[in-house]
Chain A
C-alpha cells in the first residue's frame, strides 16, 4: 500500500538462507487506480512459498502453479490461483476467500502441526482434487458467526480429521477415513466414499441438507452421525450420496 514500483522492486525475498531483492526475479509493472489493491502474478511459481501469508485486504491473482502455504493465516481479501497449489493451501485461514482452479496438495485449510485450532473462518474453493488431511482441526464459532467452509472436487483420506465445526462439501468422490475424530461439523460427499469409518452410524436418509451458512443442497443422501469414538452423543454429520 502506497508503494511505488521502485519500492516493490527492492522488497526482500528469502532464497534459502540468503535474502534477495524481488526485482531480480520478477518484472514489476503497474499503475495506481483507486483504493483497491490487485496483484497479478504470472509464471510457474511451484517453488515459491508463502504468497499471501497473513493477507488482510485486496486481491491476488496467480496465473500458473504455486508452491506451499498459499494464503496461509489470511484474514481477508481474495486469492485466485489459475493452476495447481502445493501443500498447506489456506492453512489456518481466519477469513477471506481462496480459490484454486486446479488441484491442491495435502493439508488444505489445515492446522499446522501442534496447533489445536485450524481454519476459523473464510472459504476455500478447489476445482480439482485435494490431498490428505484437509481441514485438520477446523473450528467454528457460533457466537462470532464464523463458519469455515471448504468446497472441493475429489478428496483424499482423512478429510476433516479432528473437525470442530468446519463445513466441507466434496463435489466428487472421497477416499478413506472421512471425518475421523470429528467432534462436530458437517461433511457432504456428492459422490462415493471408499469405506466409512466403523464409528460412524447411519441415522436416516434425507433429500435436502441445510448447511450452517444457510445454503441448501438437494439430492438423495444417507446421513451418518459421528465420529462416535470422540463423543457418545454427537451432532457431527456425514452425508454421502445414496
Chain B
C-alpha cells in the first residue's frame, strides 16, 4: 500500500532507465529481460535495448551485471547506506565521506544525475535487498528514494517476486482480511504483526501444535531450527509434487496442478491476475486444492458443531 509501482507492460513500453537492485534475472527470472525490461521493443522504446540504460547494483559481478551499462558494486549488507547517501545527495547535501558502502562518492553523484535525467525509471529489487541484514528497512528506504525521485521525473519500484503465484497469496489475503501476510485468526478476527505471527517466528518459538502447508516447501527455504520444530508436530501437506516437506509429512494430499490439470487464476509479480486453462485430465481423479480445502472446512465445522 502506498508503493509507487506500476505494471510490467508500462515498464516495457515506457521505461528508459532500468535498475536491478540485488537481483539476478538472467538466472532467476529468465524471461523477464526479454519480455518486459531489457531486450524488448516497446511502444515508446522502439529500439529495444539501445533505448534503455540498464544499471545493476549487486556485490557480485553476476550475468545480469555483465549485460548492464553501469554496475555499482556495493559492499554486501551495506545497501542501506548507499540508499541513504543517494537520498541525501538527491536533496543537494554534500557528504563527508569519499567512499560509501564501497562505492566512490563521484560514482554515486553520476548515478544520481542519470536517475534525474531519465524520462521514466524503474527499480526492480530482489532478495539482495530483502534478505540482507537490513531486511524491510532497505525496501523502506528504496521506496522513499523512488518517491523523492518523482520530484524530478517519473519513477516506479517493483519487487521481483520469486515463486509462482506468491503475489496471488498476498492479494487474496489482502482482500479477505486487509493484511497481506503474518495474519493470526486465533481471536476470531484477523490480527497482523510480522515478527509475532509470521511463520518462521512462530516455528522458532515453537508455538504451533500442528501445521497445514498448501503448495509450498518450507523445509527447503526456512531456517534449519524452525524446520526441526515443524517436523516435531503433525504436518499436513497439500502439494502436487514431492518435496522435502512432503517427504516428512504425516498426511499428503496430491492435487491437480492449476493451469495444467485444472483451471484457476494466478497473479503475476505486478499484481495482474491471469486466467489459467485446463489442458489435460488430472491423474486418478485428483481433486483441486480448493475442493480439498472446502472439504476440510466442512469437516472442521462438523467437528466443532457449527
Q: Which A residues form the contact surface with B (CB < 8 A)? A: 14, 16-17, 47, 68, 87-88, 106-107, 112-114, 133, 157-158, 161, 177, 180-181, 197-199, 201-202, 227-232
Known interface pairs A180-B80, A229-B88; A199-B193 also in contact (CB < 8 Å):
no
Query: What are 7 A-B pairs at a CB distance below 8 A?
Result: A14-B187, A88-B196, A180-B141, A181-B140, A198-B97, A202-B96, A229-B144
Q: How many residues of B contact A (CB 8 A)?
A: 30
Contact B80 A201 (CB under 8 A): no
| A199 and B134 contact, Cβ closer than 8 Å, known pairs A16-B186, A113-B192 | no
In the complex, what's the smallest C-beta–C-beta distance from A92 to chain B, in angstroms?
A: 12
B93–A199 CB distance below 8 A? yes
Extra inter-chain contacts (11) besides given A199-B84, A199-B93, CB under 8 Å: A14-B186, A157-B134, A177-B80, A180-B84, A181-B140, A197-B84, A198-B96, A229-B87, A229-B88, A229-B91, A232-B91
Q: Find chain A residues with CB under 8 A from B92 CB.
A: 232
Which residues of the partner chain A approach B196 to less than 8 Å between Cβ atoms? 68, 87-88
Q: Known: A197-B81, A232-B93. Is A181-B186 also a contact (CB below 8 A)?
A: no
Query: Which secondary structure dominates chain A's binding surface?
Result: loop
**Is A198's CB under 8 angstroms from B144's CB?**
no
Which residues of chain A come closer than 8 Å to B97, judged between CB atoms?
A: 198
When the two chains form their complex, are residues A112 and B193 in contact, meaning their CB atoms are under 8 A apart? yes
Q: Closest CB of chain A to B5's CB: distance in Å?
A: 18
Query: Which residues 152-203 of B have a CB within 8 angstroms of A?
Result: 185-187, 192-196
Chain B interface (Cβ within 8 Å of chain A)? 80-81, 84-85, 87-88, 91-93, 95-97, 100, 133-134, 137, 140-141, 144, 185-187, 192-196, 205, 207, 209
Chain B residues lying within 8 Å of A181, measured Cβ to Cβ, are: 140-141, 144
Is the CB–CB distance between B88 and A198 below 8 Å?
A: yes
Please, how many angstroms separate the alpha-carbon atoms of A117 and B222 in the complex?
Answer: 32
| Top 4 A-B residue pairs of the complex, sorted by shortest distance between their CB atoms | A229-B87, A199-B88, A17-B186, A198-B85
Kindly state the separation between the CA atoms of A181 and B88 in the bound complex, as whole angstroms: 11
With contact pairs A198-B97, A199-B95, A229-B84 given, residues A177 and B134 touching in the complex (Cβ less than 8 Å): yes
Taking CB atoms, residues of chain A closer than 8 Å to B96 are 198, 201-202
A142 to chain B minimum Cβ distance, whole angstroms, is 25
Which among B133, B195, B205 has the greatest number of chain A C-beta atoms within 10 A?
Answer: B195
Q: A201 — which chain B residues lie within 8 A by C-beta?
A: 93, 95-96
Most buried by B among A14, A107, A180, A202: A180
Chain B residues with CB under 8 Å of A113's CB are 192-194
A234 to chain B, nearest CB (A): 10
Within the complex, what minimum Cβ distance (angstroms) separates A109 from chain B? 15
How close is A77's CB to chain B, nearest CB, in angstroms? 24
Closest residue on chain A to residue B100 by CB atoms: A198
Residues in B whose Cβ lies below 8 Å from that of A17: 185-187
Separation in Å of the A143 CB from the closest CB of chain B? Answer: 28
Select B137's contact among A106, A161, A228, beta carbons within 8 Å: A161
Alpha-carbon distance A123/B243, docked complex (angstroms): 50
Rounded to whole angstroms, the CA-CA distance of A14 and B92 in the bound complex is 53
Chain B residues near A16 (CB-CB < 8 A) = 186, 209
